[in-house]
Structure 1
Amino acid sequence: MCILSDAEVSVECWSMGNSDARRFGPEEDSGNSDSQSEEEEDSQSGEEEKDSSEPEWDKDSYDGREYHSAEKEDTDEEADLKWRRYKRQLIETKGFFVDPENKPPYFSMGILPLVDLDDPFLDDEGPTTREFCADLAILCLDKFNQHQGSSVQMEQVLWVNYFGGSRQYFYITFVAKEFESPDAPLVEYQAKVLRHTIGKTYPILCRPSPNPTWMREKLKLK
């Protein structure tokens, strides 16, 4: 475990004690896309100049991106295979899911799954990580409902991916009810949020999940 950025979020950290330590921005996918993601731009440009910029609502930086491997994935190099699987899962789930079993052995910066969601987020007196992320997801859900004229209600956070830095991105998968009824089925949703360490928080998108649980189970096998 280690502490990420100023938010002091506990996550599972991957070894960085090798000269070949890698970072992953979503565009690093064998050159199949000319555009950079928001996260990659943040890590390469002057973040202090971007702190006042508000992201466009309902714009997904992964739209149009596809994974293309330049080499066969039946490589004997376990580290290389895990790296390819990691990139493939991020691109195919648009940043929302990474199987921990596919974590690359050398990693310097990128999207990571948060662990211990029911542990305190910052301190013992504050909300848990799950509760904190639920509040972030509700910001997105409220804007989604406003735009769609709907009344979707948050139920529970299932999974969170995180990209650290002074501009922190939360990829939150949660279940919700699309109408008020005790018999209403739970539907899996996704929310993406940008949170500045200076305190500003911006909803980026909210939508029914295009990769529900059964699809994530399938992706684990890749």
Structure 2
Amino acid sequence: MIDASSASMVVTSLPTKRKAEFDPEEESDGENEEEEKETKIEERKGGIDYLKVPEWDVDSFDGLEYYSSPEVLFSSDEEPFSEESIQHYRIFKHQMIDSKGFYGDPELSPYDHYRGIKPMSLEWEALTDKDFRAYWEEMVFVCLHKLNQIKDSNVEFVEVVRGYYRAGPRSKSYITFMAREKPDGPIVEYQAKCMVTLDRKRHPILCRPVPTPKP
């Protein structure tokens, strides 16, 4: 187990391409260092800064409310999706908004996942040599280090419960995990959100006990 007190808030990853952190169309084969720099410059000129560090403790789901889309949804074959698929999507969307990205029923089969955020099995491969359990443990340590630094607390990681993932050049992980205050505090369910920017650095977004559900 990694000591949270020694974990860096921004951790540089391995130099290989990450399977978990890029959509297939965003990966490139054989791109050399100069070409990669030019690509990043061009992307920033386009108005999107893929290296921008996210603001700490700002939840993009705050203030977001669910509404049911009235339009007919079509598949890639221009055929309407089944009523069941549309209903599954609406349920999943509602759950994701209510949980602020941390839970949507993985048993549902929506035609798409809300905002590209998908449930991932802890045993699935995240990196070439790492499953999502190990990958998210590292993310949690980054977030806990920031939390303990800001709050002057001493919360320690226990185990990952589940996680949701949005791929892309600014990928996000939504992780539910168990933690406790050292030395002998009760085990509490926590949430952590972490971003990996295009330069493969990890940035904490938030870390908190799971909020009490609305009545």
Q: How many residues align?
A: 164
Which residues of structure 2 form unaligned runs of 5+?
Answer: 1-16, 22-43, 71-81
The TM-score normalised by the length of structure 2 is: 0.68
CA change 1:46–1:162 in 2 (3 A) is: farther
Residue 123 (structure 2) aligns with:
118
CA change 1:100–1:57 in 2 (3 A) is: same
CA change 1:106–1:168 in 2 (3 A) is: closer
- Return the letter of the residue paired with 2:60: S
Give yes or no for the alignment of 1:52 onto 2:63.
no
CA change 1:143–1:196 in 2 (3 A) is: same
- Contact conserved, 1:7 with 1:197, CA < 8 A, in 2? no
Give yes or no for the alignment of 1:94 onto 2:100.
yes
Distance 1:85 1:140 in 2: 29
Distance 1:88 1:109 in 2: 12
* Structure whose alpha-carbon radius of gyration is higher: 2
Which residues of structure 1 form unaligned runs of 5+?
Answer: 1-5, 11-44, 216-222
The TM-score normalised by the length of structure 1 is: 0.66
Distance 1:147 1:108 in 2: 31
**Relative contact order, higher structure (CA 8 A, sep 6+):** 2
156, 159, 174: which is aligned to 2:177?
Answer: 174
Give yes or no for the alignment of 1:61 onto 2:66.
no
Q: Report the CA distance between 1:119 and its aligned residue.
A: 4.8
Percent of paired sites with the same residue: 38
Q: Report the CA distance between 1:107 and its aligned residue.
A: 5.8
- Contact conserved, 1:155 with 1:174, CA < 8 A, in 2? yes
Moved more, 150-159 or 45-54: 45-54
CA change 1:101–1:187 in 2 (3 A) is: same
Q: Deviations over 1:92-116 (max 9, x none)?
A: 000011111223135696100111x
CA RMSD of aligned residues (A): 2.6
